[in-house]
Structures are given as structure tokens and as C-alpha cells.
A = this chain, B = another copy of it.
């Protein structure tokens, strides 16, 4: 008899819940695929990776298989995670497909030995320690002592290592609870003293501040469990979509600099409130925050003048890793919580690139690999254990849907998949009425139009040749006044209430964006003296890289035409790097070591760049 199984495909998309009838002995993976629900199965459903894991939200959790235990580890198994390819429930249940960000995080970790343990809860090393102590109160009038000396004696630290902000509430805390107080330390410094036993409450935030998107993740520090994650548009965007316009806004204008800083701090505090609301964690139990971001975002967060980051030679004001108390940034977590900013490599190769290098193990392996973090400001890393090069690739926000006539972010209603055969076929996020087109859809669309001959290698929309195209497709190629357009959807098609078009200008924007990334890759290969074919692997990182079709990306020349098994999604590796540093001080130390080894390649300053960029603007021949 079939068992009802509810599957939540994407916890961020409220309408993604569907109920399947699961035949006995059928794995969740097979049933989901049969029903058209995407669950990644990198290893082909053989229990050799973690990409297909699901979490049981309701119903009895089936006993773990040996593959569950090997791949997921005891902590995740205990928390109700199972591999969808190995699991055939016999009772009604609800499972959730793990979020893509997280998913790919696990893919990276599964692929690299030694990192996974942090997520499997085997050896956490966040540096935040809590201990319950009973402090003997001062009792003698003649031989006086003080509360903080008594506290210090109880935990074996000198009074000077107690942060002054902790002193304010210390006497009350010491006297209020017969069970004692919980003392939180980080690096031998007392960050908090709380009434009673709160030793189990030990949380941290990993924050990835992108030019366009900000992602904040709340983790339990002992297990590494992700309790909540929120993402938002960077509210600085209203003052400039890309880095250079953001810098220009702040340049030589202290008031604007303060506005940018205030906006990001306010957003982070909204994120704190939201992850705390989602998880039930109190903000005062967040003792460590790791922030990654490009150099400009980093400087703006600290209120540091980024004027010269925007002028040759684009020098950052600082590059060293920084640890400062949360109150200095007005972050509403524990006041003495430590905010750790990862080191920076160069003005346009920031802490986010360092985090990508850390999370992908690019700088630690023998294999020669490329990591491409596709974002408004893209970064490209190339290297191995021996040497690492990095450059920035200013793609602009086109691939995030900005500056595109009907562009939008990858939210419900966005066209995220396009196939072009005799006509244009679209898929929308949430399978709702189409509202616009996001980056992955845009790349699919351009790739498809290229393949069909509706765009030529220079990017020109082939209005003159539309009669040679299949009639349905040809009818979508139009000239309106001066403007060449492809009508992607007419009103009524795919639920669209208005026409959705791709303009000639949109194609040019895609060319500029992909040209920036492609020429960055080409330049690093050129500097390193390596041919693309010899690369062991190309990793696509970033929230966007996560959704793009590899075939389409190769077709438009965004990435080199490698054998497909050598191209891999690695998810939001920058955010993942932040999480690693949050959970492990050893990882945070390693990030600094890696940053010191990364060799910066300045595209603009290189004599061969111009030709590489011009070449990269065109599309590859079919």
C-alpha cells in the first residue's frame, strides 16, 4: 500500500510542498524525481555523497542505513537527516529537501576530507567556551577583595581579562542564583557572566556581505547545526548597484559613508532579530560573529573611508584579520561578542575570496583548480597547494537580474530555466506565473538563442535571419524602432500578465558580465602559464553559481569548455568559509595563512588584458 509522503522542496518557497504516494521499497529520491521534484544526487543515488539528504520534519524517522551513518555522521543522523537515495519510509511522513546553499556546502565538505568533521560535530573549536562556576562572594571587611577577583579566582583568569562591559552586571549575577553563574570566554577573555546554568546556549553568526545580497546564518557552536538563515538585498544598493558606484557615493563624503555604514549595520541587526525569532535563540547567547565580504563591504561595515579602494592602485586601507567587540559595531548580540573579520588580499579581492579559498580547499590540495565566485563583483581563484592566484572580475549586477529590461532576482515568479528548440520554453521559480527573468534563466535563454542561431557570435539578435528560424521562434525575433528584441513570453504565456522581452541591450549586458568572468579566468591561466584543458576542476561558487546551468554557462563562454565531470557547483562557498571560521578557530587561523599566500593579479594593469577581454566578449562558435 502506498504511503503518503509530503516533500517540502524549498523551505524558502512556501508553495513548494507536495505530497507523493510512495510505493513500498521505493526510495524518496526515486519517488521525488518521478514526480519532478529536483533533489540533487551527485553520486547518482549510490549513497556515496550527501547531496540528496533530506530532513524529517514529521512522522517516524526510519532507522539509519550504514550509508547514512558513514556519509552524514552521528549528529545529523540524530537530528533526523537521511540520504533520500537510501531511505524508503514505511509510515506517513514529511521531509524537507535541504536548502541549496546548505546542500552544496555539504557537497564541498563531502568532497574534501577533514572539513566535514566540523559539520558532523566531531571536533568543534569555535573558541567560545562556557563554564558553570560557583563564585565565593567577598565576606571579609578588613581584608577586602572584589567581585571580579573572586570570579577570576574561580575560573583561573586575572581580573584584567574580564571585559569592562561585563563588570556592570557582575555583582547582581553573582548574587542572584544559587546554581552559580555561567562564564563565557573567548581567547581567555571573559565575554559574559550569566545567572544560572546557560552552558548549553552557545551560538554564533556567519555573515556574508555581498554587494547585492547579505546572508546571515545562525549556528549552534558545539554541533555546527544551522538553526536559521536569512538573506536580504544589501540595502546599500539604493546608493549604487555595483562596487564602483557604491564607492563613488561614499568617496570624499563622510556623511554618505556613515549612511552606508548605518544601512548595513541596521540590516545585520534585522537579521539578528529574524534568526533569533526563527530559532528561539536569545541574541545575548550569540558570542561570535564571523563576517566575510569584499574589501569595499568590509571597509563600509567598519566605517572606513573606501575612497582610494576605487582609485588606482586600488589599495585597501587594511588587510589584516580583525577581532572587535560587537558593541563597537552596534551589533545587537552579546555586547562583548567577538566580531571576526577575515583578512583581505587586495582592494578587489576581499575576505569573501579568502573564504572561498578556505571552503573549497583550493589552496590545500594537489589538484589544480579554479573557483569562480559569480557575483556583482566576481572573483576568480586559480591554484593548488603550491601557488594560488586571484583576480577580481567586475561582472556587474546583470547576472543578478539588474540592468536587464525584465530582469529580477531569483525569487518566486522568476524565469530560472529556459530551453529553446523550435520555440522558447520557460520554467519559473515556484512554478507560478512568470514575472521576469533571473540570471540563470538569462544565461539559458542566451545560450538557447545562440544554439538556435537567433543570436550570432558577436551577440547581435538576428532580426534579418528570423525567417530562417523555426516559425514559432522566428516570430519572437522582432525589431521595434531602433531596438532588436526577443519576445520571451507574450501576455498569457506561462501565466505572464505582460510581455517579457530580451533586448539587444540585455544581450550586451550579458556579454559584458560573462566577458568579465571569462577574461578573469583566462588571465589567471595566462599568468600561471596553464591551458584550460589541464585544469583538474572548475568550481562554481556563489548563490548564483548554484542555479546556473553548466551547459548554458559553457555555451555562452562564461566558463571554459571542460569535460562536464570536471565542473562542479560548490554553493555559497564564501558563506560556507565564514561558517567554517565560526565553528573553528583553527580554520580561522588557516584563512589568514591562505590570505598571505594568494597572489593578486590586477587585470587592468596587465598589458595583455585588453585583448583577452575583447576576445571574451564574443560568444564561442557553436
Measuring CB to CB, which residues of chain A are less than 8 angstroms from any residue of chain B?
Answer: 137-149, 158-160, 162, 164, 167-172, 175, 302-305, 307-308, 312-320, 322, 324, 328, 344-347, 349, 599-602, 604-605
25 sample A-B contacts, Cβ–Cβ < 8 Å, listed by A number = A138-B313, A139-B313, A140-B313, A141-B313, A141-B604, A142-B599, A142-B601, A144-B315, A144-B345, A145-B319, A146-B318, A146-B344, A147-B316, A147-B317, A148-B320, A149-B319, A160-B322, A164-B322, A168-B303, A168-B304, A169-B305, A170-B317, A171-B307, A171-B317, A172-B307
CB distance from A206 to the nearest CB of B (A): 21
**In the complex, what residues of B have CB within 8 A of residue A313's CB?**
138-141, 144
Which of the listed residues A142, A175, A318, A320 has the most CB atoms from chain B within 10 Å of its own CB? A318
Closest chain B residue to A150, Cβ basis = B315
CB distance from A335 to the nearest CB of B (A): 11
Closest chain B residue to A137, Cβ basis = B315
**In the complex, what residues of B have CB within 8 A of residue A146's CB?**
315-320, 344
Closest chain B residue to A341, Cβ basis = B164
Interface of chain A, main secondary structure: loop
Please report the C-alpha to C-alpha distance between residue A160 and residue B147 in the assembled complex, in whole angstroms.
Answer: 32
**In the complex, what residues of B have CB within 8 A of residue A171's CB?**
304-305, 307-308, 317
Please report the C-alpha to C-alpha distance between residue A320 and residue B344 in the assembled complex, in whole angstroms.
Answer: 37
Closest chain B residue to A309, Cβ basis = B171
CB distance from A174 to the nearest CB of B (A): 9
Closest chain B residue to A175, Cβ basis = B308
CB–CB B600/A143 < 8 A: yes
**In the complex, what residues of B have CB within 8 A of residue A168's CB?**
302-305
Which of the listed residues A144, A171, A314, A600 has the most CB atoms from chain B within 10 Å of its own CB? A144
**In the complex, what residues of B have CB within 8 A of residue A145's CB?**
315, 319
CB distance from A312 to the nearest CB of B (A): 7
**In the complex, what residues of B have CB within 8 A of residue A304's CB?**
167-168, 170-171
CB–CB B307/A138 < 8 A: no
Which of the listed residues A320, A347, A601 has the most CB atoms from chain B within 10 Å of its own CB? A320
CB–CB B316/A167 < 8 A: no
**In the complex, what residues of B have CB within 8 A of residue A599's CB?**
142
Please report the C-alpha to C-alpha distance between residue A28 and residue B160 in the assembled complex, in whole angstroms.
Answer: 52
CB distance from A342 to the nearest CB of B (A): 14
Please report the C-alpha to C-alpha distance between residue A604 and residue B140 in the assembled complex, in whole angstroms.
Answer: 12
Of the candidates B143, B345, B605, which one forms a contact with A141 in the assembled complex, judged by CB atoms under 8 Å apart?
A: B605
- Give the copy number: 2
Closest chain B residue to A164, Cβ basis = B324
The 8 A-B pairs of least Cβ separation, nearest first, read A138-B315, A141-B602, A144-B346, A141-B605, A148-B318, A141-B313, A146-B319, A159-B320
| Other A-B pairs beyond A142-B600, A170-B305, 17, CB < 8 Å | A141-B312, A143-B600, A144-B315, A145-B315, A145-B319, A146-B344, A147-B315, A148-B318, A148-B320, A159-B319, A164-B302, A164-B324, A168-B302, A170-B304, A171-B305, A172-B305, A172-B307
CB distance from A424 to the nearest CB of B (A): 43
CB distance from A8 to the nearest CB of B (A): 42
**In the complex, what residues of B have CB within 8 A of residue A328's CB?**
164
CB–CB B138/A320 < 8 A: no
**In the complex, what residues of B have CB within 8 A of residue A322's CB?**
160, 164
CB–CB B602/A142 < 8 A: yes
CB distance from A219 to the nearest CB of B (A): 25
Which of the listed residues A147, A160, A302, A605 has the most CB atoms from chain B within 10 Å of its own CB? A147
Closest chain B residue to A158, Cβ basis = B320
**In the complex, what residues of B have CB within 8 A of residue A302's CB?**
164, 167-168
Please report the C-alpha to C-alpha distance between residue A140 and residue B308 in the assembled complex, in whole angstroms.
Answer: 13
CB distance from A176 to the nearest CB of B (A): 11
**In the complex, what residues of B have CB within 8 A of residue A319's CB?**
144-146, 148-149, 159
CB–CB A144/B320 < 8 A: no
**In the complex, what residues of B have CB within 8 A of residue A159's CB?**
318-320
CB distance from A526 to the nearest CB of B (A): 14
Please report the C-alpha to C-alpha distance between residue A160 and residue B322 in the assembled complex, in whole angstroms.
Answer: 7
CB distance from A294 to the nearest CB of B (A): 14
**In the complex, what residues of B have CB within 8 A of residue A172's CB?**
305, 307
Please report the C-alpha to C-alpha distance between residue A167 and residue B322 in the assembled complex, in whole angstroms.
Answer: 12
Closest chain B residue to A318, Cβ basis = B148
Please report the C-alpha to C-alpha distance between residue A317 and residue B165 in the assembled complex, in whole angstroms.
Answer: 12
CB–CB B347/A314 < 8 A: no
CB distance from A298 to the nearest CB of B (A): 11
Closest chain B residue to A312, Cβ basis = B141
Closest chain B residue to A299, Cβ basis = B167
Closest chain B residue to A320, Cβ basis = B159
**In the complex, what residues of B have CB within 8 A of residue A605's CB?**
141-142
Please report the C-alpha to C-alpha distance between residue A316 and residue B170 in the assembled complex, in whole angstroms.
Answer: 11
Please report the C-alpha to C-alpha distance between residue A164 and residue B313 in the assembled complex, in whole angstroms.
Answer: 23
**In the complex, what residues of B have CB within 8 A of residue A162's CB?**
318
CB distance from A487 to the nearest CB of B (A): 44
Which of the listed residues A158, A164, A605 has the most CB atoms from chain B within 10 Å of its own CB? A164
Which of the listed residues A302, A303, A304 has the most CB atoms from chain B within 10 Å of its own CB? A304
CB–CB B305/A141 < 8 A: no
CB distance from A392 to the nearest CB of B (A): 11
CB distance from A499 to the nearest CB of B (A): 45
CB–CB B142/A318 < 8 A: no
Please report the C-alpha to C-alpha distance between residue A139 and residue B171 in the assembled complex, in whole angstroms.
Answer: 54
Please report the C-alpha to C-alpha distance between residue A602 and residue B602 in the assembled complex, in whole angstroms.
Answer: 71
Please report the C-alpha to C-alpha distance between residue A158 and residue B141 in the assembled complex, in whole angstroms.
Answer: 46
CB distance from A133 to the nearest CB of B (A): 17
Which of the listed residues A302, A313, A347, A599 has the most CB atoms from chain B within 10 Å of its own CB? A313
CB–CB B167/A318 < 8 A: yes
